Structure 1
Amino acid sequence: MQPVRQSGPRYRPKDWRNTPTSAEPSLGTGSTRTDASASADETRGWVSQPTSAPLDFPERVPLLEADILEIDMSKKILVRGATGTVGKPLVEGLLAKGEAVKAASRGNRKMDGVESTPFDFGKPETIATALEGVDRTYMLLPAGYLNVRDLLLPFVEAAASRKVKIVFQSAFGVDANGANPMRQMEILLEKSGTPHVILRPNWFSDNFHHFWKAGLDQGQIALPAGDSRTSFIDVRDIAASAIAALTSTAFDGKAFNLTGPEALSYADAAAILSEVTGKPVRYAATSDKAFIDMLENNGVPAANAAHMASIFHPVRQGWMSVVTDDVMKLTGKRPRTLREYAQDKVAALTA
């Protein structure tokens, strides 16, 4: 999970409760209702009874040969967001395995060794070209859209009609409530008949050198996260999990909750970053209002600032402190700790 970008309309976690939890979407019908009047404390759709104790991971768990069912590598893998935070290491890893990759983006960005194709979820006419010659795809939600279901539905329908396997990057904890738009997309995939794998990553470790870098530079990370813990995950482990899901049929039809190996408070995280980088940084727990005011003072639109504050409600409730071994199940390797992330990314953290 990562904070959304600061442009365009967005769905809000606080909108998830406006559809009855028993609602199950079907392909080709219905829509997700939103209601901006709901309070942030009404957020639903997250794991409510976390287990935050660190897991005792072996360095590697060998996958049984019988469980690794290789699939046809003669066709391409379509990756949306190929130059993004997860997409870049995902593409690099797929190329290293000898896979042919097709990169899809609105700007049709070029990448070495990769076929590029223009693609926009909001323009259904770009779907057929993007899926041409493809038998697998990595799908994640583009930032800046309100109606998740209507945005992604045409792509899912087109992929399902071609039996293209979809690995969907969803969000951590959404399986707790069927009203969550992301969970509704998961249900659509489950009912589509097309091969699929669902990945639900927790908050990205990499947010520290992306979204929160300005705070690091100033020596203080001010967030409305309280003193609760989060099992941060390195995006390289998300990419490795996606590679496993895309290059094997062993995980088809399953969902995986991706976390790091330990749950840390933001104060713990700040202490680790200070030690690794040699630059003192502290965590300052702030209120939603103070956080919103800070964002608005830096030019973030009011609605977007309110949304960005609301996504920390599950963190404060402790729902993001769950630790799983799902990365190990997919990759055979333990996920990286926040300290390992910081050691590897020290240049980016101190630039």
Structure 2
Amino acid sequence: MTTSNATLVIGATGTTGRRVTAGLIAAGYRVKAAGRSATPVPGAQPVRFDWNEPATWGEALDGVDRVYLVPPIGSSDPGAAMLPFLRQARAAGVHRAVLLSSSAIPAGGPAVGRVHEELPGLFEEWAVLRPSWFMQNFAASTPHGRSIRDEGAIMSASDDGRVGFIDAEDIAAVAVRALTDDQAPDTDLILTGPQTLSYAEVAATIAEATGQPVVHRKLTFEELRDRWAAEIPLEFATMLAGMDRAIAGGAEDRTTDTVERLTGRPPGTFRSFVEREVA
């Protein structure tokens, strides 16, 4: 299928953005692939976009009627940049917006929760994707990926709490449907994988698949906060450590049928992910 207008994918080379871009192109949709360096993406029109540079917004929005929103990375107050952009997007003719948020952040909550709260009042058609923790957090150059490779350990303050880890491939598949279906979801969607796992079970799965020793090392809230704060602002590090503490309390011990309901196929397993992207 083709449309006269394009879909703007913000963060088009990121974990979900590149998969959303690929999915839209495969389905025949025009895509403007937005990023800070306008990196060429096969089949898409690259465009420079920076949340902190409003001068880049106009060109990105030209000819666009829907947008996939990835919040600015590492910001504890993404609404400061996102809400002015979204008002400009509405004025420019965007009528559908799909926002990537988190299962840990409700409407009106911290960080992107404020954007979630205001999205229904800004657009005729909308969806907020609230995925659980990404399986991709354990791959490549992520903090967990580095600690697995360098220290043979996953560090968390989640204790024995369980998480319905989800594959970014499944998040992107839901995003494509939310962007292109005749009727937008007009709601928030909790996205999980097919099972919940503790970090100890995650470590054991990775160890088995890779043949390398990997363990879960339990940290306190303060220890994890300080570990994150060595790489990111303290306020954001505190928020992330707080999410781990919530996992320990059972906040993420759930699964949903959202992926299968919207895409027609079950979400991928953690073992399949590890064999594909870690081992």
TM-score of the superposition, structure 1-length normalised? 0.73
Match of 1:126 among 56, 61, 64: 56
Match of 1:266 among 186, 199, 204: 199
Aligned to 1:196, the other structure's residue is in SS state strand
Contact between 1:80 and 1:87, CA under 8 Å: does it hold in 2? yes
- Distance in 2, Cα, partners of 1:304 & 1:178: 17
Match of 1:143 among 73, 91, 95: 73
Aligned to 2:116, the other structure's residue is in SS state helix
Structure 1 unmatched runs, 5+: 1-69
Aligned to 1:200, the other structure's residue is in SS state strand
- Residue 114 of structure 1 corresponds to 44
- Distance in 2, Cα, partners of 1:318 & 1:336: 22
Sequence identity percentage: 33
Q: Which moved more, 1:240-249 or 1:104-113?
A: 104-113
- Residue 38 of structure 1 corresponds to none
Q: Deviations over 1:186-218 (max 9, x none)?
A: 221111243111111110001001331122122
Contact between 2:67 and 2:94, CA under 8 Å: does it hold in 1? no
- Distance in 2, Cα, partners of 1:299 & 1:172: 24
- Distance in 1, Cα, partners of 2:199 & 2:103: 18
Match of 2:176 among 194, 219, 243: 243
- Distance in 2, Cα, partners of 1:149 & 1:294: 26
- Distance in 2, Cα, partners of 1:155 & 1:293: 33
- Distance in 2, Cα, partners of 1:179 & 1:223: 23
Q: Which runs of 4+ in 1 moved over 3 A?
A: 292-296, 298-308
TM-score of the superposition, structure 2-length normalised? 0.91
Aligned residues: 275
Q: Deviations over 1:232-270 (max 9, x none)?
A: 000000010111111113333122111111111111111
**CA RMSD across the alignment:** 2.0
Contact between 2:76 and 2:236, CA under 8 Å: does it hold in 1? no
Aligned to 2:37, the other structure's residue is in SS state coil
- Distance in 2, Cα, partners of 1:253 & 1:128: 26
- Residue 35 of structure 2 corresponds to 105
Larger Rg: 1
Give the 3 Å change call, closer, same or farther, for CA 307–193 of structure 1 in structure 2: closer
- Residue 169 of structure 1 corresponds to 100
Q: Deviations over 1:79-124 (max 9, x none)?
A: 0001011111111111111111111112222222221111122222
Q: Deviations over 1:283-337 (max 9, x none)?
A: 11111233344456x6666555444422312211110112111111211111111
Give the 3 Å change call, closer, same or farther, for CA 169–299 of structure 1 in structure 2: closer
Counterpart check, 1:342 vs 2:277 = no
- Distance in 2, Cα, partners of 1:132 & 1:213: 38
- Distance in 2, Cα, partners of 1:322 & 1:187: 23
- Distance in 2, Cα, partners of 1:304 & 1:195: 30
